[in-house]
Amino acid sequence: MSVCQDTYNDFARELYDVATRNGASPSCIPGTNAIISPISVQTSLMLVFVGAAGRTENELRTGLKLGPGDRQEIAKSYHGFWTQLCNYGNKMTLKTVNRLFVNHKLKLQHEFKELADDYFHSQPVALNFADATKATQQINAFVEQATENKIRDLLQPDAVNAETSAILINALYFKGLFQKPFMPESTMPDDFYLEQNKRVTVDMMYQEDKFKYAELPELSARAVALPYEDSDISLLILLPNKICGLQELERRMANLSLVNIDQHMRTEDVELALPKFSIEYDLDLKDTLQQLGISELFGDTANLSRLFEEAAGQKISAAKHRGYIDVNEAGSEAAAVTFLKVVPMSLNMHKKTFKVDHPFMFFIRNSRAVFFAGRFVSPQKKEFIMSSPAPACSDSMRMHVEEMSVN
* Residue 233: CATH number of its domain: 2.30.39.10
The pLDDT assigned to 20 comes to 85
Residues 287 and 388 in one domain: no
Same domain, yes or no: 97 and 198: no
Residues 312 and 359 occupy one common structural domain: no
- Ordered DSSP codes for 114-147: HHHHHHH---EEEE-TTSHHHHHHHHHHHHHHHT
pLDDT given for residue 30 in this prediction: 61
Compute the C-alpha angle 94/363/375, nearest 5°.
Answer: 125
Q: Do 101 and 248 belong together in one domain?
A: no
Query: What is the domain extent for residue 195?
Result: 184-275+347-405
pLDDT at 262: 93
Q: 166 and 247 in one domain? A: no
The reply to whether 214 and 149 lie within a common domain is no
Q: Do 258 and 356 share a structural domain?
A: yes
Number of domains, the chain: 2
Q: What is the largest CA-CA distance in the chain?
A: 72
Cα–Cα dist 32/25, whole Å: 8
Residues 46 and 150 in one domain: yes
**Contact criterion met (CB below 8 Å) for 88 and 94:** yes
Q: What is the pLDDT of residue 34?
A: 92
> Quick one: 317 and 364 in the same domain?
no
Low-confidence ranges of the chain (pLDDT < 50): 1, 24-27, 346-347, 381-407
Alpha-carbon gap, residue 106 to 98, rounded angstroms: 19
CA distances from 3 to 36, 94, 106, 264, 313 (A): 22, 20, 31, 26, 29
φ and ψ at 140, to 5 degrees? -65, -35
Note the pTM of the prediction, 2 decimals: 0.86
State the CATH number of the domain containing residue 320. 3.30.497.10
Residues 247 and 142 in one domain: no
Residues 304, 171 within the same domain: yes
pLDDT in tens, 298-354: 999 999 999 999 767 888 888 899 999 998 989 888 888 877 777 676 445 567 899
